[in-house]
Amino acid sequence: MEELSCCKEILTEHEKRVEKGIGQLSPRPRINGFLTNFRDQVPRIDIQRAVLFTESMKQTEAYPMNIRKAKALQHIFNNIDIIIQDNELIVGTCGGAGRHAILFPELRGPWLEKALRGVQKGNAFRISDEDLQTVVEKVIPYWKGNSAHERYLAMLPSETKEFIYGDGDWGSAGLLQDNANINATLNWAGNYKKVINRGLLDIKREMEERLSQVPNNDYTKMAFLQAAIMVCDGLMDYAKRYATKAREMASIETDPKRKAELEVIAQNCEWVPAHPARNFWEAMQCQWFVQTAYKLEQPTVGVISLGRFDQYMYPTFIKDLKAGVIDEERALELMECMWFKIASYVPFNVTATNNYFEGYCHFEQTVLGGQTREGKDATNELTYLVLRSKKEFPLHYPDLSVRLHSGTPNSLLHAVVDLIKQGTGFPKLLNDEEIIPQAIFNGASIQDARDYSPCACTEVRMLDLDTYMAVGGNLNLPAALEMALNEGVVTIDGQKKKLMTPSIKSADIKTFDDLLKNFTEAWDLFIQHFYKRQAALEISNAACLAAPFMSMLNDACVEALTDIHQPINNHGISKDSGALSVIGFGTLVESLAAIKKLVFEDKRFTLDELKDALKANFEGYEPIRQMLLNAPQYGNNDDYADEVARQTDEIICEVMQRYRTPNGPQNFKHVPVTTHIAMGRRMGATPNGRKAGESLSEGISPSQGRDSEGPLATLLSIDKVKSRVYNNNFSRLLNIKLNPQVVAGEKGTHDLMAFIRSFVDLKLWHLQFNIINKETLIKAQKNPDKYRNLIVRVAGYSAYFTDLSPDLQNEIISRTEHQVV
Amino acid sequence: MLKEITGRIFNIQKYSVHDGPGIRDVVFMKGCPLKCIWCSNPESQSSDLQIAYNITKCIGVNSCGHCIKACTFHALSVSEDKIVLDRRNCVNCNKCVDICCSKALHIFGKDMTIDEVFQKTQNQAGAWRSNGGITVSGGEPLLQADFVAALLKEYRNIGVHTAIETTGFVHWEKLKQVAQWCNLIHFDVKMLDAQKHRKYTGVDNIIILENLKKLSAGFPNVNIIVRTPVIPDINDQECDITEIAEYLKTLPNLYDYELLPYHGYGRSKYEQLEMAYELKGVASLEKSSIYDLNQCVREMLDLPRKTYAGHL
Ligand code: SF4
Ligand code: SF4
Ligand code: SF4
């Protein structure tokens, strides 16, 4: 039934509040005006992009793919509706007014009809009958037999196809959730700086110059440059159409204030993106045009990120601020206009029939802080202003992260903690001390490595260097353990499948090493299938996809004069930096540690008894389940459990090093977004005491509620678990729940700052916080197993929340309401 | 040699932020000479290892019952699917505790060497980034003064901030022995009235007040924070507190004075030990009013006002 890309989430609590109209308001009236309309809007599927794109593609079959894509993009720019909404300061839209989604039929066109009919039944998106009819008649027929996904599927070996999709062709069989062709590229951030600083005319001039130097029989390189020139022209024409529209509107506008605004908008659109931006407003407008072009060109995992916003926007910001052209309020207003546009664009991914609404969440990651290319701290005035805007802007967009390093000033950390204490989960923290060395390992210079941009969830890209685009997938680690224990049989949705035969029969598993041997073999099968699909995707992407706009803004592509979807040798870094995400690491290592201790060492029960208990979903086996829950637990700085986890990490890394795709070896990461929930729903009980259907563990974290020694112990465990054998281990997502009492007051702020410094010292990749609230405690009362780690923290007293009697729990719940944070 | 001494500990809490500066590890020592009726850690009072039964955790005799089979001394019986422990028959053999799958049966108290405690806390070394440290609490840590002094000395040797929380009801020699290794001492003064003190804590407060004076005079470099747990109907009147404050005025060295509002969260632990909880039905105190009172008293004592520390 599932899945989506790695970036899928049910509406956040905060969003739900906003949707219900009880959200907070912005201090800026203009923004509140936008919000009033936003709240009741079901996103509309806008078909313009799909129709225009297809129209053009029909006309250009004789041309190389990058020329075809450039012409299609130009066709869209010249014909898409030009819409300026009330009180907007930043203009441009990919699909009309209001909340909207657009379609990319070149990826999964043939599946669109089913998906859109499904939309009409649900209430998460809307599309009119007329529009649906247009898509069915004018778009879908052309893509049948022509879409990227069909090409990919045709290339997959049948066993791999079955491993991934089972009998179907777009869902997941529960073992490997495939993100292929849901998006065209891995997550990415726009290279906005280039256009803001140089202007497209200058970039176009460079392309023309290069074109004059290309030997005139080098048609591929010529095509690259011609395509680049076309998209430059396309975007500049699109901006001019906005200028004309703004002038028209200004001429009939009766409100003098709005009239003046529209006139400036017209001037802005006449100037950018063709020329270098002269002021902050122009730079913001330019950024948004470029962002729009990225969005119209192709779908990117998480939707195109904003990159190092406080760096590339700084020069115009500080110039205007010093000259008195803008004040902080005005800058905030302009930013919020953009945040609002970001929130209005909703990705619609063609996947299974019944989970569209889960696609609302997107991750246009905006990153602050970090280091300059020279290694100095990069914090500036704009950094603080964006943090403030995050506090004041009521929607959860854009996604916000802060890059930290050993030289991050305390003042920035203080502002960051201040925002974390708001309890919205923002900002995420990314650690330069871990990420920069990994980028250098992947082949970057230290300067380029320092300039990395976090993208979407927790991944990072170097925007002029990375060229690897093939989207990966998520592998179900606990399923491999099930196969290791059960002669290669795995149970998904209650259906048994035998996928391999491990070398040790289950009756002959006598030691922990036997079990690990079988696990390694089962994991090997997962990895082989993963590589096969990744290779198929790399090859089919090169055949079906091109991205002239994205390629033109990437130095490596321009040096090679090669599209970003083609293999690029000798330029940039065409290495994957974590396309494979492993799911359920905590579930797996908790299971292994429990088996090692209880079955092989203490002999509390046999492997057969354990298997019976799992089969029965622990019905009638509660004592076994309790022992499993009380076994040594990963994530508590417990050497026993952490060593098992480290061994497992080593196996995962080692097996991944065994194979290659045409592009080289693959790397892995621990970033599930919500796949752990979806996979868990379909799996039986696991030897860590988890019952059938419950979620698997998230990211690199232990299972929910198992980390009972405090957050620092969790950090130390995660540090110990890194096997450090290979460098193919990338992003590790870590969410930590915080008790409001431990962050209360100025002391709480300082303690949390210190904790975050420890995270930086330990060189862990990612960290994000949730503040425990009343709702969490109520959940804990109902579901104690998942919240065993909640400590009631009072001076001189300690106990676990779930150990308390219900009346005491109620007392604490009622008091949590009044926390002074 | 010293490292062979063991201490009897009932809990080590990580990531504590209410027991001294920064993020700390708190080592709770077992055994206390007082018996305060509001005590929220009743498991800290007895110096013995104590079997306890957490009925909330027990999965029921019907589906388990392992403990009953394990007990050969007929100390365990069944009532409504749960266990009843008869302490008269129990010989503390721990068989039931070892077999209990859910840790519903467990022991309060564990003897640990200095090395063991040091390992279990020092590997949280990241916490020291916070300028946090170690706090030894109880019970009354000074009942195990040799152990505590040796432990704190280890920490001082590696530059870690050290603190204790004491009732003050010990021989001055013991207090002196430990105080030399402390950066900070939390010193409880529960009430000034001697009779009341005897009534509610079971002991006299003369020694306590004398020790506080000596400590304040003899250790000018140690930060002393006096604490008063404020208990409804026992010492929650303004005069109860100002009385203490008047006394504190006479001390040559006082770092801070903190009021800790009463809470009843210890109740569950009384049940686990089948101990009677005398303050049943007494509501927890409103934090904000105690906080205001605390600020007033601080002013009276010329102490700097504190920002809210977020006690539950
Ligand atoms: S002094 Fe503290 S530990 Fe001892 S009985 Fe009183 S409250 Fe409990
Ligand atoms: S400790 Fe020994 S004697 Fe006491 S209840 Fe348990 S098994 Fe029985
Ligand atoms: S062994 Fe533990 S869980 Fe089982 S019945 Fe006895 S106390 Fe309850």
B41-55 pLDDT per residue, tens: 999 999 999 999 999
Q: Three-state SS string across A284-303, please? A: HHHHHHHHHHHHHHCCECCC
Rounded CA-CA distance A724/A650 in Å is 8
Nearest to B243 by CA among B305, B171, B300, B295: B300
CA distance A440 to A449: 6
Q: Could you tell me if residue B159 is left (phi over 0), alpha (psi between -120 and 50 degrees) or otherwise beta?
A: left
Please answer whether residues A553 and A487 qualify as being in contact, where contact means their C-beta atoms are separated by less than 8 angstroms: no
Contact assessment for residue A276 and residue A198, using Cβ atoms and an 8 Å cutoff = yes
Residue nearest atom 1 of ligand 3, based on CA coordinates: B100
User: Alpha-carbon distance A59 to A53, whole Å?
Assistant: 10
| Neighbouring C-beta atoms of residue A486, cutoff 10 Å | 19
Residue A283 has pLDDT above 60, yes or no: yes
Residue A288 neighbours by CB distance under 10 Å: 21
Q: How far is the CA of A785 from the centre of ligand 1 (A)?
A: 31
What secondary structure does DSSP assign to A201-249, as a single string?
HHHHHHHHHHHHHS-TT-HHHHHHHHHHHHHHHHHHHHHHHHHHHHHHH
- Taking each continuous run of H as one helix and of E as one strand, the counts in chain A are 36, 18
d(CA A36, CA A42): 13
Please identify among residues 193-252 of chain B the ones whose CB lies closer than 8 Å to any CB of chain A: none
pLDDT of residue A114: 87
Strand order in the sheet with A366-369: A366-369, A400-404, A428-431, A766-771, A735-738
pLDDT in tens, B213-259: 999 999 999 999 999 999 999 999 999 999 999 999 999 999 999 99
Using pLDDT thresholds of 50, 70 and 90, give the confidence band for residue B198: very high
Question: Cβ contacts of residue A556 below 8 Å, gap of 6+?
Answer: A464, A465, A466, A467, A568, A571, A572, A573
Q: For residue B30, which ligand has an atom nearest its CA?
A: 1
Separation between Cα atoms, residue A673 and residue A733, nearest integer Å: 9
Burial of B310 per CB tally in 10 Å (0-12, 13-18, 19+): buried
Is A754's CB within 8 Å of B26's CB? no
Tell me whether A817 touches chain B (CB under 8 Å). no
Cα–Cα distance for residue pair A333/A261, rounded to 1 Å: 13
Pocket test for ligand 1, best of B26, B29, B45, B197 (most atoms within 8 A of CB): B45
Beta carbons within 8 Å of A185's beta carbon, 6+ residues apart: A298, A299, A300, A301, A469, A471, A547, A550, A564, A565
Least confident of A14-28, A36-50, B68-82: A14-28
- Cβ neighbours, 10 Å, residue A235: 24
pTM of the shown model: 0.90
Predicted confidence at residue B129, as pLDDT, reads 66
pLDDT tens, position by position, A213-241: 998 789 999 999 999 999 999 999 999 99
pLDDT in tens, A511-541: 999 999 999 999 999 999 999 999 999 999 9
Strands A791-794 and A453-455: unpaired
Q: Given an 8 Å threshold on Cβ–Cβ distance, is B308 in contact with A744?
A: yes
Q: How much distance in Å is there from the Cα of B184 to the middle of ligand 2?
A: 41
Residue B34 CB less than 6 A away from ligand 1: yes
Handedness of CA A613, A618, A621, A625 (dihedral sign): positive
Catalytic-role residue among A2, A459, A590, A694: A459
* Under 8 Å between Cβ of B13 and B25: yes
CA separation (Å) from A394 to A21, A34, A37, A401, A420? 11, 11, 14, 17, 15
CA distance A743 to A418: 10
Given a cut of 50, whether residue A359 has pLDDT beyond it is no
Residue among B37, B29, B15, B3 at smallest CA distance from B200: B37
- Kindly state if the Cβ of B100 falls inside 6 Å of ligand 2: no
Segment (H or E) for A431:
strand A428-431
The confidence band for B127, taking pLDDT boundaries of 50, 70 and 90, is: low
Closest CA relative to residue A349, chosen from A165, A119, A189: A119
Give the three-class secondary structure for A109: helix
Q: Are A125 and A101 in contact (CB under 8 A)?
A: yes
Helix, strand, or coil here: A121? helix
Instruction: Give the integer Cα–Cα distance in Å for A507 and A487.
Output: 9
Give the number of the ligand closest to the Cα of residue B188.
Answer: 1
For A365, A454, B25, the CA distances from B107, given in Å and listed in that order, are: 50, 49, 21
Residues of chain B numbered 149-178 and touching chain A (CB < 8 Å) = 165
pLDDT tens digit string along A590-636? 999 999 999 999 999 999 999 999 999 999 999 999 999 999 999 99
- Contact call for B13 and A791, based on CB within 8 A: yes
Structure-token pair, residue A636: 């508590």
User: How many angstroms separate the CA atoms of A728 and A442, rounded?
Assistant: 9
Give the mean pLDDT of chain A: 89
For residue A626, the ligand 3 atom closest to its alpha carbon is 3
Q: Which residues in B lie closer than 8 A to residue A743 (C-beta atoms)?
A: 310
pLDDT of residue A674: 74
CA distances (Å), origin A693, targets A130, A163, A480, A683, B67:
41, 21, 17, 6, 31
Instruction: Provide the terminal-to-terminal Cα distance of chain B, rounded to the nearest Å.
Output: 42
